[in-house]
Amino acid sequence: GGKVAINTTIINFNKEKMQITWATREILPNENVSFFYTFDEGKHKVWKPCTTYLLDQDYNSGCLFKTEGPTLAISIRSSNGSEELFSKIFKTDFYIKPSPPENVTFFWEEDTVTVSCNKPKRNALCLTLELQYKSKFDKEWQSRTSKCCSVGEQGFDPRKCYSFRVRLWRLSRHCNVENYSSDWEAETFWMNGTLLDSCDDDVTPQSKTVIVLSCSQAVLLMMLILLILLCKWQRVQTSVLPAIPDPKYSFADLFNDHNGNLQEWLVKNDHVVLQTKLEYEEPESITEAESQQEDGKNSDKQGPLEKIFTFSGAAENNDGKAAEIACLVPASNTTAPFGGFHILMNDDTYVML
């Protein structure tokens, strides 16, 4: 009714409170409207002004008031209430929005769960109970409905955690003009018949301990493998690139006192047979030196003895100069042992290390 066609939304909250909203901003963008209502059914109606408005950008867009009867008449008027813009009469029981289910219980039997709630005192036949559930591996809710006030479902995996929620629907064909449902009851979490605070709680402390131990074992195994590879690499490096001995450790006085001058060192160490032992000598080098010594012995049996630098003639004649000359100018085809090797020396030989 009225002069202007205004879209309205009517909700009767479980026969306790009415909420009427309207859309006038598109029709009357610059006018703020007022609202009146009455539950009287006779000719002499007493209209009550709205005391609790719902606002939309400071404009009145709805009204809340107590449900007082089965028949309601509403009137939307101009801001001062003098001109009626829209009116309507309807039955409040056709716009009922049920309250959330009360005292919800879950009964588990193996892989089957049955959910029930308290049965409303009035109009229970107009209500259906909806159950929705999903596991933490599901993206969408699974839904089941049944007559008020019990619904069951089977096929639940005892190893999974599930989220459950329930609500009541008001049947629109026989009881309601609008298909209204209640708000969702608080969501609950279950696993194999056990109530949990959340589905994150299904990770038990024991499983966390197993994860920590597994990670620790993996780290220790990696460290052991690295140590083995390091040892292998050192052995390979030693075999491919053997250490080269430093001669300064075997002939410290030759290099420190005589700057590598072999003749000067030989003069100072007169009548001394050179013997060297290399500190960093490899087993292959020792074997090679021993084989050379054996070859030297065999050659001693077959030929004349090798000469070693001696200065006996100079010593018998007490001729120092002759001894010095003998050191500096060795005799022709003379062999001198040095560091395990035999050096063939002639008149032009001069050794400086």
Q: Looking at the domain assignment, is residue 154 inside a domain?
A: yes
Q: Looking at the domain assignment, is residue 272 inside a domain?
A: no
The length of the chain in residues reads: 353
Q: Looking at the domain assignment, is residue 290 inside a domain?
A: no
* Token pair for 266: 């030989």
- Nearest CA among 343, 180, 352, 165 for reference residue 260: 352
Whether residue 156 sits in one domain with residue 117: yes
Instruction: Please identify, among 67, 97, 127, the residue that sits at the C-terminal boundary of a domain.
Output: 97
Q: Looking at the domain assignment, is residue 19 inside a domain?
A: yes
Point out the residues of the chain with pLDDT beneath 50. Answer: 203-206, 271, 273-287, 289, 301-330, 352-353
CATH of the domain at 16: 2.60.40.10
What is the extent of the structural domain holding 161?
Answer: 105-196
Whether residue 137 sits in one domain with residue 166: yes
Q: Give whole-number Cα distances, 139 to 60, 162, 214, 254, in Å.
A: 40, 12, 31, 87
pLDDT tens readout for residues 274-308:
444 444 444 444 445 455 555 555 555 444 434 43
Pair type for strands 34-38 and 48-49: antiparallel
Whether residue 120 sits in one domain with residue 85: no
Whether residue 152 sits in one domain with residue 86: no
* pLDDT value, residue 244: 64
Q: Looking at the domain assignment, is residue 2 inside a domain?
A: no
Whether residue 141 sits in one domain with residue 125: yes
Annotate 32-61 with three-state secondary structure: CCEEEEECCCCCCCCCEECCCEEEECCEEE
* pLDDT value, residue 49: 93
Whether residue 131 sits in one domain with residue 87: no
Whether residue 134 sits in one domain with residue 87: no
Instruction: Please identify, among 77, 97, 117, the residue that sits at the C-terminal boundary of a domain.
Output: 97
Instruction: Please identify, among 138, 172, 196, the residue that sits at the C-terminal boundary of a domain.
Output: 196
Those residues with Cβ within 8 angstroms of residue 28's Cβ, 6 or more apart along the chain or in another chain = 4, 85
pLDDT tens readout for residues 56-104:
888 899 999 999 999 999 999 988 888 888 999 999 999 999 999 999 9
Rounded-to-integer distance, Cα 27 and Cα 98, Å? 32
Whether residue 180 sits in one domain with residue 110: yes
Whether residue 66 sits in one domain with residue 21: yes
* pLDDT value, residue 25: 81
Q: Looking at the domain assignment, is residue 181 inside a domain?
A: yes
Whether residue 115 sits in one domain with residue 59: no
Q: Looking at the domain assignment, is residue 77 inside a domain?
A: yes
* pLDDT value, residue 325: 43
Whether residue 54 sits in one domain with residue 20: yes
Number of structural domains in the chain:
2
Whether residue 121 sits in one domain with residue 60: no
0.75 exceeded by pTM: no
Q: Looking at the domain assignment, is residue 74 inside a domain?
A: yes
